[in-house]
Each structure stands twice: as structure tokens, then as C-alpha cells.
Chains A and B, each alone.
Chain A
Amino acid sequence: MSADFLKELEIQRGYLLRVARLQLRDAALAEDVVQDTLVAALAAQSGFTGRSSVKTWLTGILKHKIVDAIRRKQREPVAASTLDDEADIEDFDALFNERGSWRDKPTEWASPDDALSQRQFFEIMEMCMEKLPPNTARVFMMREVMELETEEICKELSITANNLWVILYRARMSLRECLQLNWFADGRRA
């Protein structure tokens, strides 16, 4: 077993843990899932081909572990109902008037390329993801970080495609607002 490989796993551990926590909202369960992922990664070390893909490769393993954990959690009665509740909330009405036009017209974000090259921007983005309602965050992470197909997410969480689209809409609109407030509206960073 190469020392480099172990070091790489250690480097990626923090990221995996943050992703697992965002999806599971359960620190102990997230630890377990990441632990399982690292053990599986060590066992399947030969399946990893190059340094540049370690993160993607580990995320692929983590994805299965998280889906398993969610399946086990689904058996607890609360989960499904809260998901539908989160899809039902009709907000963002404050953003639009009764005709559906913007109350305050959004403007383009200044220097987005500059933002995307800063570690601090991604810290703010994680903070914004933490602020999402738990199930909304989970669905968003499954879609945008784990890159699951919409059909897979609907199947795993037993929700309709329509509810899924509404939940992802809420996640993206919330993140947009949060980044607007905490990064782009702040002239110092532009």
C-alpha cells in the first residue's frame, strides 16, 4: 500500500465528510459513511487509475454508501412526509409581484470568474448549502454533487418528478439569493 495513496485519502476525507454531512444532516452517520467509503477505497485501490481522479473516484464510492444510508433512514417514518412538505412551500413570492415580475430587478454578478478561483467563495457556498432545509439540501447534493439522474433520485426518495423539480428550483433559487447576499452584493470582493 503506497504512502501517497493514504495521504491522498486523508486529503479528500474532509471534503467527503462535508458532502456526507450536507446530505445526511447527521454527524455520526456521516462519519460512518465516510469511514466505510475509505475502507472500500483501500480494498479497491487498484480500481483507481490516476491522482487527478481520486476525488471523483471516492465520490463515486461515497454515492453508493449515502444512497444505502438514505434507504435505511427512509424506513424511519418521518422522512417522506417532510420531503413533500418542503416541496409544498411556495415561497420566493417576496421576489415577484402579483403579475410574476421582479420587484427588485436582479443584475449580473460582477467578476464571477474571480469568485470561482477563490477558496473563500466555496466556503460561502458550503455555508449557503448548510442553510437549505435538510431534505432540499440532500436532493440538491444528490443531483449536483453525486450527479444522480433525476429518475434515480425520484426512485430512491419515492417522490414525483414534479416535486423533484420544485425542490431543485427552491435549492437553486435559495443558493442564488444566499450567494448574492453573502458574496456578490459585497463590493469588496468584486
Chain B
Amino acid sequence: MKTVDRILGHLVSCKDVTHLLSEREDRALTSFERIKLEWHLAVCKACMAVEKQFRVLHEAMRRYRQ
């Protein structure tokens, strides 16, 4: 993995990323927040897994109310 990718990927921490993953369902993220999120997900498998888990949770709630 290129060093530059790693540096860009860690402008936000995993903890910050979990906040962004939740908040993007409730507000529009700024373009810089979206980029930081994308860069992080590109280099962090754990957060990528959580991103998918949040999607499952969202879909589960959709089915629950239908």
C-alpha cells in the first residue's frame, strides 16, 4: 500500500469514522468529511466491515417498519 494512501486514510480515526457513518443518515456530510470517510474506508478493513453492518441495520429497520 502506498504511504500517501495510508496518510490520507488516517486524517480521521476509526472512532470518528463510526460517527460519520451514523451522522450521514441524519445530516448531509460536508464534502471534506465525505472524502476523509472514503479515504479511510479505502485503507481500513475494520471500518469497511462496520460500514456494511450499518447498512444491514438500516435495511433491518426498513423491513421492520414495513
Interface residues of A (CB under 8 A from B): 55-56, 59, 92, 95-96, 99-102, 105-109, 112, 115-116, 121-122, 125, 143-145, 147, 150, 161, 164-165, 168-169, 172-173, 175-176, 179-180
Contacts and interface: CB of A to CB of B under 8 A. Distances in A.
Interface of B, helix, strand, loop or mixed by DSSP: helix
Interface of A, helix, strand, loop or mixed by DSSP: helix
A59 B61 CA distance: 14
Contacts, number: 89
6 contacts: A102-B47, A115-B60, A116-B56, A122-B63, A161-B27, A175-B57
A101 B14 CA distance: 5
Contacts of A176: 50, 53-54, 57
Interface residues of B, number: 28
A45 B42 CA distance: 52
A144 B46 contact: no
